[in-house]
Amino acid sequence: MAGDARRRLRLARVGPVALAAGLTLAGAGCGGDEMLGPDQVVVPTGPFDWRLPDGFPAPRVPEGEEMSAEKVDLGLHLFYDVRLSGNQTQSCASCHRQELAFTDGLPVAEGSTGQLHPRNSMSLTNAGYQPALNWANPNEVNLAHQALTPLFGEDPVELGLAGMEDQLLARLEADSTYQRLFAAAWPDRGTPVSVETITRSLAAFQRTLISGDSPVDRYRRGDRSALSESARRGQALFFSERLECFHCHGGLGFTGTFDFEGKSAPEIEFHNNGLYNIDGVGGYPPHNTGLHEFTERPEDMGRFKAPTLRNIDLTAPYMHDGSIATLDEVLDHYMAGGRTIVSGPFAGVGSDNPNKSGFVKPFSLTGEERTSVLDFLRALTDSSFITDPRFANPWPAGSPAHGSGS
């Protein structure tokens, strides 16, 4: 979810964000039938079947946004439809590709008009568990509300539908597939096609993007063959006080920002990891200053959300601005306790940033240890997640949803 900088109303100042420890979670898995196709309409007969991995609780669903298979199916179709952009060239999936764990492989996102964004497209892996949805905006906490920004935001332009609400609704109302899907998903609405039902259906689909079947998960469930000896050594290092990685990337989500049904309160964390120090006193590049943009507190300069490390091997390049290309380079950054940029407009010694998190401090690794840490991170890749047909493009080739180039 890129580009949350400079494009929304200034909201009230928020309080300090606490650094929290990891989570210990337990829950029951469940199975179910395959998701319904566009021609299958049934009335839901019970609670929504999340098909949760073992040990995963259900995501927290806001009141009034109850889940149903029909809403999810509608949201899936909307997610892959280029008609949700003003010029009909991009869909949500353009910046969130399943094979890349719902990222786009670019340093920063590029909108439907070609405008580059200040931020990297965040992975939608386990988006339904995220109580803060952008890199640095503490106020964007609801998936349906968040969808308004890529759809209608103007600074930067993403899908470019500002002022085109009526055209969008007309496009969808004219499509026979959507006539069926909206009626099934929203049977209590006299006019089922609306901006509200679009965003809530997109949110329903995104909540189902649950990843929890990586080799690390299978190992934790008792499959001792799931992790190599090297990856097991890397896991021990990752969770050690020597490296301190788990303080910001802990718990079930491998991130400190996490929520679920039944949890007493969501955890929301933002950290400065010493990526920049352009003025020697903690400065970050203009228009990309992190939490500071919202709080205007000097100590919040450069604080961003620690993203999930699930599927991290698929989501390069890294950091909020895509400025680190590989996992090897990410490890170099943390081993140095911050990045040093020797020349150019952003030159500075990030390890000396006065706002840097106390968990980001230099450490050394042997060659074998370094390999082990990387092997563990790569073992967080969930191949079933990136190939699950429930999350794939449902539109046939040549459909208007693919645009004129299909």
Instruction: Give the chain's mean pLDDT.
Output: 90
Q: What percent of the chain has pLDDT over 70?
A: 88
> Is pLDDT at 3 greater than 70 in this prediction?
no
User: CA torsion angle for 254, 324, 237, 338 (degrees, to 10)?
Assistant: -110
Residue 47 binned pLDDT confidence (cut-offs 50, 70, 90): confident
Distance separating alpha carbons of residues 172 and 88, to the nearest angstrom: 12
Domain tally for the chain? 1
Q: 82, 61, 35: which is closest to 204 by C-alpha?
A: 61
pLDDT digits (tens, 9 = 90+) for 356-377: 999 999 999 999 999 999 999 9
pLDDT digits (tens, 9 = 90+) for 372-392: 999 999 999 999 999 999 999
In a domain, 157, yes or no: yes
341 forms beta bridges with 348
**Which token pair is 306?**
């620690």
pLDDT digits (tens, 9 = 90+) for 151-172: 999 999 999 999 999 999 999 9
In a domain, 133, yes or no: yes
In what helix (H) or strand (E) does residue 341 lie, and over which residues does it extend?
A: strand 340-341
**Sign of the dihedral defined by the CA atoms of residues 110, 116, 117, 123, in that order:** positive
In a domain, 141, yes or no: yes
> Is pLDDT at 203 greater than 70 in this prediction?
yes
Distance separating alpha carbons of residues 120 and 101, to the nearest angstrom: 14
In a domain, 127, yes or no: yes
pTM of the complete model: 0.88
pLDDT digits (tens, 9 = 90+) for 261-272: 999 999 999 999
In a domain, 153, yes or no: yes
Residue 7 binned pLDDT confidence (cut-offs 50, 70, 90): very low
Distance separating alpha carbons of residues 372 and 375, to the nearest angstrom: 5
Q: Give the CATH number, domain containing residue 75.
A: 1.10.760.10
Query: What number of other Cβ atoms are within 10 A of residue 10's Cβ?
Result: 9
Distance separating alpha carbons of residues 334 and 370, to the nearest angstrom: 12
**Which token pair is 214?**
């990586």
Name the DSSP class of 157: B
In a domain, 148, yes or no: yes
174-200 burial string, b = 16+ CB within 10 Å, else e?
Answer: ebebbebbbebbbeeeeebbebebbbb
In a domain, 272, yes or no: no
Q: Helix, strand, or coil here: 303?
A: strand
Q: Which stretches within 186-263 are classed as H helix?
A: 195-207, 215-220, 229-238
Look at 26 and 220; give whichever has higher pLDDT: 220
In a domain, 160, yes or no: yes
Identify the domain containing residue 187 by its residue range.
69-210
